[in-house]
């Protein structure tokens, strides 16, 4: 048995993987761990099935006469290196772009960031975590000077008297998380903000809390309204604000226009519910001697063209209640991807270096360059966020080659047909994957790589806790780790420094590169994790116990005080019109993860949710002449997709929902909007104006 962690979401549930003969699917059993408490969701229980998927790639593929054909590693890597060297000589280093994934281990995230900036000398790197938590990261940094998904242990939620969950559906995305909501449920204080009656929203039933169902794109206004009620009813924590927070007067003035009746008109949430929610949050808060209150945000708050402002409105609410930096209360963001947190800490993001340092900061560049053994002036500056990066591909002066690792953008990008249409015009598209994903199928070179249980690496979960995901089984013959791929490519490209393929060696370098940064890993090592520690950053020394709770004494701002930023209503980028009269929201289902490249290959999961569906209210269906099971088309300003109609009373009459795990005609991202947040670069995946037409009976 090998103790390790699930390959999927940021809860990083602990599990044992039993040894198995080559080609035989290992058995998975859950382990006790503070995040999952001996539980796994259906994805976790079946996670070993992806190790033995029949369509596993075991040799590189290169495109010849339009077809991908098997070849050997030397031929594939020679083709990649020669083409990159030619492009660099002819068009400069910016002619190469790199796109990573939030499921890559810390070692891989760190090495890919270094490989792009040193091995390729290009600024053009970003990752799919841009679509995951970038708005919360930006909102957290501007309020607290630091972004750590949850700045407290998950188990702290257990004792809360009230929890406000904005735009998150953990009952499907990370079910074991919901054990941490039971305290608030018992106190009748679980408040879920979602336009749908999701399984999470249903947890508020029977007096266990409130479900607020706002019009899509109006969560920001709802949060302004709740905060204004706190002020008008004398429920804010004035002592805390005076002691720990700047910008109070400006915030208060900015809220004046958001009286509850106006908020009801904009959001559709009744004043009675707004007042009840604000009072529940205040009653449980420390200022009133309550059990504790938490405000938590997810993708529903973030994936908007003004997602940073929506998160800021949630942070403002939490600060007015006096929550952040107090034991037993707080604000946090629920990261989705397995290593979405670690990816942005170690340099996958266009504007960041390891240690969560800004790539534009001269001191940060000097520190990281010294660890890497290069001249700081040789490091490129900030690159473009994901949407802009894909828009620039094969454009005049834009990248002519792209390397994709741990991502499937052909399914997951917004406005996906437009943003990926120029992948075919590149001189070289290289995709590393363990199967022929939808993106790999378009590549010029496909490199077959190891997957989760076949390699050792660390992950940083949604709490900022570092875990060792240990190798539990041998990979099939013919595949390599991505660390081996980058090490070999760097050598062939004449990199000024070597790249180790040993994850423990890479981790030690990562720890040195992060030392002194806000996400300080200097005290961590693989050995320490093997010895049983699973510790929170910052951890600046080997004898440091890690930091489960941050902000207890001060925030990471220049004066140690948090900052309230006034924000205001901004309507969705897509306007409803008579031709496009409905809002579309997107999300996940229990059985699938992200683009579905892994979970669609697990028969147990795929048999439950095999195809794209669109959820709509029976009254809307009647108006459109649609019956349950009919095939319908969903049209927006970008394009159309197809899905099977599912009728439910748990959704607003003006809103439809689609999951985003499916490719081809079922890809909802053919319809979604790529308008981005000017601060975070997050696209507006969560709201689009659409119409439905019936295609026919299924």
Q: By the criterion CB under 6 A, which residues form the site for ligand SF4?
A: 6, 8-9, 11-13, 36, 40-41, 43-44, 174-176
Q: From the CB of 675, what's the least distance to ligand SF4, in Å?
A: 30
Which CB atom, from 278 or from 602, has the smaller least distance to ligand SF4? 602
Half-sphere exposure of 217 (CA within 13 A, CB side): 23
For residue 460, the minimal CB distance to ligand SF4 (Å) is 13
- What CA–CA distances, in Å, run from 230 to 235, 322, 332? 5, 11, 20
Among candidate residues 295, 53, 287, the one with its CA nearest the CA of residue 160: 295
- The CB-of-289 to ligand SF4 minimum distance in angstroms stands at 34
Nearer to ligand SF4, 145 or 332 (CB): 332
Comparing CA positions, the residue from 499, 514, 282, 47 lying closest to residue 525 is 514
Contact 135, 682 (CB under 8 A): yes
Name the residue nearer to ligand SF4 (CB basis): 8 or 110: 8
Report the nearest approach of ligand SF4 to the CB of residue 47 (Å). 7
Nearest-CB residue for ligand SF4: 44
Q: Which is nearer to ligand SF4, 118 or 174 (CB)?
A: 174
CB of 405 to ligand SF4, least distance (A): 21
Question: Least separation, in Å, of the C-beta of 512 and ligand SF4?
Answer: 29
Question: Can you tell me the distance from the alpha carbon of 44 to that of 28, in angstroms, rounded to the nearest whole number?
Answer: 8
Nearest approach, Cβ of residue 30 and ligand SF4 (Å): 8
CB of 473 to ligand SF4, least distance (A): 17
State the minimum distance, in angstroms, from the CB of residue 178 to ligand SF4. Answer: 10
Give whichever of 13 and 468 is closer to ligand SF4, judged by the CB atom: 13
C-beta of 328 vs 596, nearer to ligand SF4: 596
The residue among 341, 349, 303, 409 whose CA lies nearest residue 10 is 341
CB 422 within 8 A of CB 393: yes
Residue 10 Cβ vs ligand SF4, minimum distance, rounded to whole Å: 7
- Cβ atoms of residues 539 and 523 within 8 Å: yes
Q: How far is the CB of 38 from ligand SF4 (least distance, A)?
A: 11
User: At its nearest, how many Å lie between ligand SF4 and the CB of residue 606?
Assistant: 15
User: How many angstroms separate the CA atoms of 179 and 184, rounded?
Assistant: 10
Closest distance of CB 444 from ligand SF4, Å = 33
Residues 6+ apart with CB under 8 A from 495: 118, 119
- What DSSP string describes 12-23? --EEEE----TT
Closest CB 307 distance from ligand SF4, rounded Å: 23
**DSSP state, residue 475:** P
User: Which CB sits closer to ligand SF4, 175 or 307?
Assistant: 175
> Whole-number minimum distance, CB 206 to ligand SF4, in Å?
24
Of 174 and 585, nearer to ligand SF4 (C-beta) is: 174
Q: Which is nearer to ligand SF4, 100 or 103 (CB)?
A: 103
Closest to ligand SF4 by CB, 21 or 32: 32
- How close are the terminal C-alpha atoms of the chain, in Å? 46
**CA 395 – CA 389 distance, rounded (Å):** 10
Tokens of 683: 């696209």
Residue 246, class by beta-carbon neighbours within 10 Å (0-12 exposed, 13-18 middle, 19+ buried)?
middle
The nearer residue to ligand SF4, 8 or 240, going by C-beta atoms, is 8
Q: Tell whether omega for the bond before 182 is within 30 degrees of 0, i.e. cis.
A: no
Q: Residue 289, exposed/middle/buried by CB under 10 A (0-12, 13-18, 19+)? A: exposed
Nearest to ligand SF4 of 40, 77 (CB atom): 40
Euclidean distance between CA atoms 43 and 35, whole angstroms: 16
Nearer of residues 41 and 255 to ligand SF4, judged by Cβ:
41
Q: Which is nearer to ligand SF4, 26 or 385 (CB)?
A: 26
Kindly list the distances between the CA atom of residue 56 and the CA atoms of 50, 60, 176, 665, in Å, as whole numbers in the listed order.
9, 11, 30, 24
Q: 445: which residues sit within 8 A by CB, 6+ positions away?
A: 60, 61, 62, 63, 76, 79, 80, 428, 429, 430, 431
Determine if residue 268 is left, alpha or beta; phi over 0 gives left, psi from -120 to 50 gives alpha, anything else beta. left
Using alpha carbons, list the distances in angstroms from residue 512 to 346, 370, 499, 523, 541: 11, 10, 15, 9, 11
Residue 304 or 469 with smaller CB distance to ligand SF4: 469
**Which phi and psi angles does 580 have, rounded to 5°?**
-125, 80
* Strand extents, DSSP E, 610-674: 613-616, 631-635, 640-647, 655-659
User: What separation in angstroms does the CA of 121 have from each of 115, 312, 623?
Assistant: 8, 35, 57
């Amino acid at each position: 048995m090998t103790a390790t962690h699930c390959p999927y979401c940021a809860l990083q549930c602990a599990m044992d993987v039993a040894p198995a003969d080559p080609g035989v699917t290992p058995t998975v059993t859950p382990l006790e761990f503070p995040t999952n408490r001996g539980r796994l969701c259906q994805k976790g229980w079946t996670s070993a099935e992806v190790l033995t998927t029949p369509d596993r790639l075991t040799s590189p593929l290169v495109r010849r006469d339009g077809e991908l054909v098997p070849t050997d590693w030397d031929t594939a890597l020679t083709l990649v290196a020669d083409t990159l060297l030619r492009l660099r000589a002819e068009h400069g280093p910016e002619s190469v772009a790199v796109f990573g994934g939030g499921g890559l281990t810390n070692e891989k995230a760190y090495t890919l960031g270094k490989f792009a900036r040193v091995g390729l000398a290009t600024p053009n790197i970003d990752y799919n975590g841009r679509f995951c938590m970038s708005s919360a990261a930006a909102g957290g940094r501007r309020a607290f000077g630091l972004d750590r998904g949850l700045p407290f242990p998950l188990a702290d939620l257990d004792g809360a008297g009230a929890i406000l969950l904005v735009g998150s559906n953990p009952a499907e995305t990370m079910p074991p998380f919901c054990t941490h909501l039971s305290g608030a449920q018992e106190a009748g204080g679980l408040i879920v903000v979602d336009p749908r009656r999701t399984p999470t929203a249903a947890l508020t039933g029977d007096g266990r809390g409130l479900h607020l169902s706002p019009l899509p794109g109006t969560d920001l206004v709802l949060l302004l309204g709740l905060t204004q009620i706190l002020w008008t009813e004398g429920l804010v924590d004035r002592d805390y604000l005076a002691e720990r927070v700047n910008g109070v007067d400006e915030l208060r003035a900015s809220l004046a226009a958001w009286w509850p009746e106006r908020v009801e008109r904009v959001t559709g949430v009744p004043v009675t519910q707004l007042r009840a929610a604000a009072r529940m949050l205040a009653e449980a808060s420390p200022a009133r001697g309550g059990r504790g209150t938490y405000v938590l945000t997810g993708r529903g708050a973030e994936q908007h063209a003004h997602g940073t402002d929506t998160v800021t409105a949630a942070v403002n609410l939490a600060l007015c209640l006096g929550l952040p930096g107090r034991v037993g209360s707080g604000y946090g963001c629920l990261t989705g991807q397995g290593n979405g947190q670690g990816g942005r800490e170690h340099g996958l993001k266009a504007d960041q270096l390891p240690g969560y340092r800004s790539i534009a900061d001269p001191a940060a560049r000097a520190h990281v360059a010294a660890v890497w053994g290069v001249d700081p002036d040789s490091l490129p500056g900030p690159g473009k966020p994901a949407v802009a990066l894909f828009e620039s591909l094969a454009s005049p002066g834009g990248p002519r080659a792209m390397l994709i690792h741990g991502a499937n953008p052909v399914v997951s990008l917004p406005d996906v047909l437009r943003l990926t249409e120029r992948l075919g015009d590149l001189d070289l598209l290289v995709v590393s994957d363990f199967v022929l994903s939808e993106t790999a199928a378009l590549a010029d070179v496909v490199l077959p790589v190891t997957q989760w249980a076949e390699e050792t690496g660390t992950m940083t979960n949604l709490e900022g806790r570092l875990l060792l995901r240990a190798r539990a089984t041998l990979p099939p013959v013919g595949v390599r780790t991505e660390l081996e791929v980058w090490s070999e490519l760097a050598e062939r490209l004449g990199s000024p420094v070597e790249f180790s393929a040993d994850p423990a060696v890479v981790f030690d370098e990562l720890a040195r590169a992060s030392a002194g940064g806000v996400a300080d890993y200097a005290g961590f090592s693989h050995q320490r994790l093997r010895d049983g520690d699973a510790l929170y950053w910052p951890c600046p020394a080997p004898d440091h116990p890690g930091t489960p709770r941050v902000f207890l004494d001060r925030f990471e701002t220049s004066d140690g005080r948090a900052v309230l930023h006034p924000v205001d209503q901004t309507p969705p980028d897509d306007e409803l019109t008579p031709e496009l009269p409905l809002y579309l929201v997107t999300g996940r289902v229990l059985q699938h993860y992200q683009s579905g490249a892994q979970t669609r290959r697990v028969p147990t999961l795929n048999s439950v949710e095999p195809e794209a569906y669109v959820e709509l209210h029976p009254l809307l269906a009647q108006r459109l002449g649609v019956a349950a099971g009919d095939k319908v088309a969903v049209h927006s300003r970008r394009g159309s997709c197809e899905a099977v109609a599912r009728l439910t009373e748990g959704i607003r009459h003006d809103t439809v929902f689609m999951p985003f795990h499916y490719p081809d005609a079922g890809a909802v991202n053919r319809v979604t909007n790529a308008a981005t947040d000017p601060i975070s670069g997050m696209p507006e995946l969560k709201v689009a104006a659409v119409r439905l037409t019936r295609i026919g009976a299924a």
